């Protein structure tokens, strides 16, 4: 039998238990009643929720193979249809994941060259912010553009001008997709997609926006096809095209056009939105905590100074800054429900039986806000990651990138981006809010599949000293 949970109504499932604030609040309330593992019916479909580090690890790590499927996400599934690295299953996913990891590493990730690329983007961002001359601004598209350009260099072998209308359109599309997929409607669509899909609504909006990104990707791939030199692939798309060519006579090959398109769309979306939303949450938290900014800047001045660009090797010498970035990720908890998984075979877990295909939510928020592991779970407190002597202290339960076989494919890239962008900005600017400290609202503007940062304005006031150059 499935884990316990509230009694479902026929077809409507646990609609009566779903809180008006959405799944996050609902799961928090149900966790109090049913404990670490429970079942909730989203419409007619049972979904198993894993709460707390122990349950998430026992499933995603100790039974890694069984829990390695990608679960159903109603608002996005009709588009990806199980294709591309983030949504594929079984052999297809294994091949695409291995290829993506190796190729991302080859064109940057984990290598010196991506560090250079991020440093360049960080400097471009600093220059753009300098132009604002201390006026207050909404930083959203500054961060989106920097993050998108880093992933574009790896995938498309090029970055885009911030004024390019096509690029700006893409950034808006991606932001809208995250926003709409995190809306209350999307959570209701998860429950009632069987009926709602026949009517107009936000799901069609999401679909057409992802389609527009797909069109952009297809055009870009076609340009790559025309210019391909198989002996010297220049980026991710070239490398995939070379594999497609090599395996063109194999009808079972996973290297086909559709998988290329949906892998690129997944990397582009996942690679831009998660990192920039984390940064946005981070900056509003920093605005609200000027004492934290002061300490980070003291560490930057001491370790990096004002004449060098921040580099990854500085991180080990900057325990306070490292702790602040970890705390930003823990507190902002940008994917609170995790990304749904499913069991790829009939699975026994903690005495329950999960039939093949059952959707499972690794409830990451319950781990990142667990009072047994974090002294002040609901407070922004970098001390969670520092010991009594001020050394950086890792926490096993720090899992914003999830665990197991499908843990975030961009983790090392994201960690490098967060460190280099945040230190570069704070090396050059002091942050000021046009609002009084007590009026700065850090409440997320959406709390669904993703936690979307609040809208806010800030001023980047130049600090003294010469801005370092590459």
214, 204, 175, 186: which is closest to 73 by C-alpha?
A: 186
To ligand HEM, the closest distance from the beta carbon of 432 in angstroms equals: 25
**At which residue do the structure tokens 């791939």 appear?**
221
Does position 414 interact with ligand HEM (CB under 6 A)? The reply is yes
Tokens of 120: 């360049």
- Residues numbered 327-346 forming contacts with ligand HEM, rule: CB under 6 A: 334-335, 338-339, 341
Does position 239 interact with ligand HEM (CB under 6 A)? The reply is no
Does position 324 interact with ligand HEM (CB under 6 A)? The reply is no
326, 282, 294, 287: which is closest to 147 by C-alpha?
A: 282
Tally of CB atoms within 10 A around 232: 8
Does position 407 interact with ligand HEM (CB under 6 A)? The reply is yes
* Comparison of 196 and 414: residue with beta carbon closer to ligand HEM: 414
- Which residue's beta carbon is nearest to the bound ligand HEM? 410
Does position 400 interact with ligand HEM (CB under 6 A)? The reply is yes
371, 289, 274: which is closest to 323 by C-alpha?
A: 289
Does position 203 interact with ligand HEM (CB under 6 A)? The reply is no
Overall residue count recorded for the chain in this entry = 470
Does position 139 interact with ligand HEM (CB under 6 A)? The reply is no
To ligand HEM, the closest distance from the beta carbon of 222 in angstroms equals: 23
- Residues numbered 51-80 forming contacts with ligand HEM, rule: CB under 6 A: 70
Pick one of 73, 177, 324, 408: the residue that binds ligand HEM (CB under 6 A).
408
Give the Cα separation of 328 and 80 in Å (integer).
31
Does position 410 interact with ligand HEM (CB under 6 A)? The reply is yes
- Residues numbered 149-188 forming contacts with ligand HEM, rule: CB under 6 A: 151
Give the Cα separation of 3 and 366 in Å (integer).
18
408 a known binding residue?
yes
**At which residue do the structure tokens 């990192």 appear?**
275
118, 106, 108: which is closest to 416 by C-alpha?
A: 118
Does position 409 interact with ligand HEM (CB under 6 A)? The reply is yes
To ligand HEM, the closest distance from the beta carbon of 362 in angstroms equals: 6
Tokens of 419: 């460190």
Q: Are strands 359-363 and 45-51 parallel, antiparallel or unpaired?
A: parallel
Does position 421 interact with ligand HEM (CB under 6 A)? The reply is no
* Comparison of 410 and 444: residue with beta carbon closer to ligand HEM: 410
Give the Cα separation of 355 and 321 in Å (integer).
45
439, 467, 431, 444: which is closest to 137 by C-alpha?
A: 431
Please report, as ranges, the residues that interact with ligand HEM according to CB under 6 A. Answer: 70, 85-86, 97, 151, 266-267, 270-271, 274-275, 278, 334-335, 338-339, 341, 362, 400-402, 406-410, 413-414
């Amino acid at each position: 039998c499935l884990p316990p949970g509230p009694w479902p109504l026929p077809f409507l499932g646990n609609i009566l238990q779903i809180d008006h604030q959405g799944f996050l609040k609902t799961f928090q309330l149900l966790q109090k009643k049913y404990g670490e593992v429970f079942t909730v019916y989203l419409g007619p479909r049972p979904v198993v929720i894993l709460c707390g580090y122990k349950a998430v690890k026992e499933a995603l790590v100790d039974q890694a193979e069984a829990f390695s499927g990608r679960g159903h996400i109603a608002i996005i599934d009709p588009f990806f249809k199980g294709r591309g690295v983030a949504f594929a299953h079984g052999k297809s996913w294994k091949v695409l994941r291995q290829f993506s990891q190796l190729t991302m590493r080859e064109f940057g990730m984990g290598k010196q060259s991506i560090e250079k690329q991020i440093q360049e983007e960080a400097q471009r961002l600093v220059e753009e912010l300098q132009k604002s001359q201390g006026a207050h601004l909404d930083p959203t598209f500054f961060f989106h553009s920097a993050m998108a350009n880093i992933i574009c260099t790896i995938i498309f072998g090029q970055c885009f001008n911030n004024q390019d209308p096509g690029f700006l359109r893409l950034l808006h599309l991606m932001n809208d997709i995250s926003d709409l997929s995190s809306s209350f409607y999307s959570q209701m669509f998860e429950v009632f997609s069987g009926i709602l899909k026949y009517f107009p609504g936000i799901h069609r909006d999401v679909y057409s926006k992802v389609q527009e990104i797909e069109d952009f990707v297809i055009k870009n791939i076609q340009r790559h096809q025309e210019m391909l030199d198989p002996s010297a692939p220049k980026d991710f798309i070239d490398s995939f095209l070379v594999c497609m060519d090599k395996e063109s006579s194999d009808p079972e090959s996973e290297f086909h056009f559709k998988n290329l398109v949906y892998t690129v769309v997944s990397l582009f979306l996942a690679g831009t939105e998660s990192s920039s939303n984390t940064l946005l949450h981070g900056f509003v938290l920093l605005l609200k905590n000027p004492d934290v900014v002061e300490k980070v800047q003291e560490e930057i001045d001491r370790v990096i100074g004002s004449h060098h660009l921040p580099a990854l090797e500085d991180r080990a010498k900057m325990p306070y800054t490292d702790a602040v970035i970890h705390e930003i990720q823990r507190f902002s908890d940008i994917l609170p429900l995790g990304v749904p998984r499913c069991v790829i075979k009939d699975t026994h877990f903690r005495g329950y039986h999960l039939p093949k295909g059952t959707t499972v939510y690794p409830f990451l928020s319950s781990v990142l806000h667990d009072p047994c592991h974090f002294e002040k779970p609901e407070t922004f407190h970098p001390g969670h990651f520092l010991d009594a002597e001020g050394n950086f202290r890792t926490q096993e339960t720090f899992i914003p990138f999830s665990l197991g076989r499908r843990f975030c494919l961009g983790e090392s890239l994201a960690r490098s981006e967060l460190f280099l962008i945040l230190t570069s900005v704070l090396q050059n600017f002091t942050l000021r809010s046009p609002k009084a400290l007590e009026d700065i609202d850090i409440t997320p503007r959406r709390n669904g599949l993703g936690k979307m940062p609040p809208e806010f304005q800030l001023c980047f006031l130049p600090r003294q000293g010469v801005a370092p150059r590459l």
